[in-house]
Chains A and B, each alone.
Chain A
Amino acid sequence: MTMLCPAFAFCLPESLAFQPRARLKKHMAHTPTQEAARTAASVPPRHEDLLVQVGTRRDRAAFRTLFEYYAPRLKAYLIKNGAAESAAEEIVQNTFVTVWEKAAQYDPKKSAASTWIFTIARNRRIDALRREKYVEIDSDNPALHLAASDAPDDAYADAATVEKLHAAIETLPADQAALLRMAFFEDKTHQAIADETRIPLGTVKSRLRLALEKLRGGMALRKKTQGQAHD
């Protein structure tokens, strides 16, 4: 069974929930520093708030909560993408060391915690497995931040607007969602997907194209050619 499973999870409304609430609550019971962040209804803090606490207060309990949620998932993702057990463990460690070091730069207005952690894990994975540095867009260079701040209200990846995207994903038929996952996140060639799924190569390509077109439509992006790529 696939680890990252049922790409069909794409299609489940539940998959919108980033935080497993029961699990978070368990850890929250021991973290008085986070009590303030909880509402009267004892809603667990959002991962974004935890990450901000790590950045601003060096809050170890918040850090641990994030670790306990993301570490096993990241490890599963890494192993699924070809890392050996020991290498995956090492990359998870490197990822969380970087999360701690960079947490002060995290801006919840610009990205969801899950997206931010995912990009760090992706970059650490390439450092480790390919022995090369991934070109990171958000370096510490002010020139790049200038470009990012041009459209702060339009940021696509903050926790609230990410849901819009997920809604688009959920409209994808399961077969298209599964192919997307294989093509883009498991880095399989179209031929390898065709062999594995026993779907003819031409069908694989046309379904991927359909899926991408739907995502584009769902992201409320104007259908445009490359030549008109500006907003």
Chain B
Amino acid sequence: MADPGNTYSDLTLRLHALRRKIHRLRAAYGIPVYLSLQLALFTAAALLEHLFRLPPFGRTVLLLTLVCGSAGACFVLLLRPLADALFSRNTPSDDRLALLVGSRFPDIRDRLANALSVYRRTGPGTSHELAAQALQTAAGETAGIRFTGAVSPKEHHSRLKRAAAAAAAALVCWTVLGEGLFSAAARIARPGTAFTRPAAFTLAAAPGDTLIMEGASVPIRAEVSGRLPDELVLLAKSESRPEQRYLLGPARSYTLTGIRVDTDYRIRCGRSETPWYHIGVIHYPEVRTLQITLTPPAYSGEPPRTLARDEGNITALKGTRVYLRAQTNKPAADARLQFTSGRSLKLQIEDRVLSAVFSCEQTDSYRFAILDSMGNANLSPVSYTMTIRDDLPPVADIVSPAKNIDLDESMSVPLVLTAEDDYGLSRLTIRYSVQSRTVNDTSVHRCDVPADLADEPMYRNVTWLWHMGNMRLLPEDVVTYRFEAWDNDAVSGPKSGLSAPYTIRFPSVEEIMADIDRDHRRQTEDLSSIADQGRDLQRQLARAAEALKAGRELQWEQQHNLANALQEQRQTLAGMDSLRTRLETIVDKLEQQNLLGIETLEKYQEMQQLYRDIASPELEEAMQKLQQALDRLDPEAIRQAAGQMQNRQQELIDSLDRTIQLLKQLRAEQQLESLINQTNAMLREQTGINEAVSTQDGGDPNRTADREMQLGADAAFMEEALQQLREDLSALNNMPPGLLDPALQQLRSESLDSLAAAISAQIRESRRSEALTGGAEMTRRLERLQRLLQDARAGMQSASDGRSTGAARRIAKRLLALSLEQEDLEAEGTAGTIDLAENARRQWSLKHALEIEADSLADLTMQAFFLDPAVARSLAEALSFMDNAVTLISQEQRSAADLQRQALASLNRSIVLVLRSLQQMARNSGQAGMSAMEQLMQGLEQMSLEQMALNRQTIDMLNQGLLTQEQQAVMSRLAAGQETLRKTLEGLMRQFGERQEMLGSLDRIIEDMKEAEEMLRAGSGDPELVSRQQQILSRLLDAQHALRSDDISHRREAVSARTLPQPSPPSLRMQNEEIRRLLDQDILRLSKEGFTGDYLELIRRYYRSLTREHNILRKLQKEQP
């Protein structure tokens, strides 16, 4: 058995180790527990103070409690375990430790503790061996047991957890109520101090005083603590605005936006408010005032002008100098003008004043770029426009002639020109080019128009005679010219404006002849219409005379119509001067072109005389008398004047007819002459072509070939013209048929155009020898044609001369015979060797015979232009004297001898005139004929006149009451006259049978004539006879009117039409150039009406867009199918 003492020592050592472990654990865990407990105590104390705000006594007690508690906890948890651990104190005791072991190791239970206890109590009364044995047993049982295992750190964990939890709670409290707990702790630390109770809440504003850039926003925030008694209100004020109130919402903030001036603000809650805080504003640099002066370029003549203050938009001419001055709100460190085009112009800076000088060169826009000393730039600078105003080109116009014209012999053209510009003109020119058939020149030439542009340089009206004599123009050359005006633009260079183009043509002889032919035709037509008018008046006169002789008064309408017709004729005849002037123009043209031969000139001179004689003084006097009679409404005066007027009117008509025939004759001759000239020209051209072909360097063969083709075309044209002339000549009855046939035949058979085409092809193919052969043949054919045409001309001359002179001689011979008879009669009448009845009968017979000759002569004067028109007047006088003589003789008045003498004188005068005319006969007498229509018209007119005369004589007879035997004989003669008329009418109807449908009621007229004949033969004095004859006359007149009215086409009908749908014609267009000129003119006009520059610029833009739109529309129209 082991020593019990050792066993006991061992066991106690083992227990001591356990003890040390316990001490260590207690010390180790005691520190954090103590700290946690300390924290919890302290937190609880602070919490208590924070919540209840204890009075000093309370805080004192609390502090003492805290201190005591801390001390106690420190002793228990910290110091004692440390002391135990450091000083190995024997606590807990061995017995407790043994019990602890025994509790930890159930196998041992308390045997160890008992064993130790027993051993220690060994003394008297106790068994030492038992104790030792117990000790030994206990030792043996615990030999494998580690006593330090009886305690573990885990036993301290729960304490530690609780302490940690308390510490955590304390920490949470400190986290949540940190400030309050600190305050409470501070108060606990000074328990004797009486602290005032803090306010319920705190209020502060953020960001406080601040500095911002102009226009920035500032968010104002309220910093509060505690319970707010009221809502938060932000108050803001500035110099420019009174105090404003803003409610801060739940977010306790409000943003002041766009602050431009210094602003003060504070926050108020209930009765509490923060102090005023200040927001300072820093301003951006900006332009405050602007002044611009514009100096236009010198050439414009415009004075400098200053724009309105602060006006920065510039509208000016190109080259205008701009003086700019601006004032800023603060000194600038750098300032420029930034142009949209990219240009940048540095401004001169003098404190707050900026200035610059620059020139307007292009449309642009600019803005100020300013930097202040802090580097702040101006915000959103205004963009100013700089618009270049167009210096418009001038508007040039040709006022006269303002149409395409032909150049006359003076080789000069008077021009009236106007030019207008907005700023001034510098030069006026005529720009022209010459298009020639023979010379290929497309160059453009200019000649200056002299004009003094110093005065009123913006508008010029120039009259200038353009001499074109030195331009070496050839016939058919065309000069295309335009008036060009240049402005005085010294900046961009002068611009020009052009007028509309016109042409001046140098007419060829053929053209002149065609022109003359046209004039001839118009003259003929004019004279024909005058003649028609005259016939209409003649008919009205006849009706009036008939009515008056029948004892009826003229109705108002008749008088009115008569007066109107008379007035119209006077007006028409007043215009004869213009016809004569036109005739003189024709003569001048012919003379200028050396186309006027002596014979032709004499014919024209005769025609001019005819023109003068048409409106003879006698006619004028007769018209005057009639007009006066109509004005006075004097029936007797009207009757007399009408009678006289009728004679003069007939003379007028005859003169007109004669003139017309002469014109037609002349026209035919001119046409033939023109053809001969054309043939000559073709010959010359062919000669030139032959030369060009024969020479080595005869020029461009294609050009020569073209010339030959043109010649062939001319030959074809000539054939047509010759055919037309042939038809015209066939209407002239005095022309032998087929006068032009040989020439026409030659043209047709020899096919000049085909030959020309062949020659042209040979020239192009360089087959020179064949071309030369062909050219020679062409020359021969042209020469032959020339001869034939010249022969035709000679034939024309001789044909007209021969027939007319023969007829004139025969008439003269018969007149002479009548004159001898008249002379005998007059002598017998004077001698009284003849009784009145015989005298009257013979005089009447002579008169009748003279009437026949007068008619023949009237017919001849239409054809024989060499006859003096005075012949007809003399014959008419003779007839009148004879007629009056018959009347007087019938009334048994001896004074008839005087009349007979006068009749003789007139008759003799007529004969003399005829003979003289024969002697002075013009070489170009001819017998002009009339177209079928004209013949028909004339036939009807002649019949009307004769019927009129017949009616008058019938009325005269019937008015005399009971008819004497002589008068009945007269009636028989009248019946014969009526029969003659009827047969003539029947002849007309046969001749113009194809036009019968146009003549309508001629059959009825013939029937009426037959009835009138029978009544006349019966010697009936029935008034029905007069009515019947009047009816005949009316129907004849109506037939003429129907002819005239129907004129060309018999298909004219006043038939109501059916609707014919059709598409609309295309839209009307104006030429671009026309529009541009109109717009430029309008703009020029508007610029003078005082519109401001900007408004004028708007107008210009509008017009420009109009032009663009028109161009687009035209383009679209062209593109449309």
Do the two chains bind? no
> A-side interface residues toward B, CB under 8 Å?
none
> B-side interface residues toward A, CB under 8 Å?
none
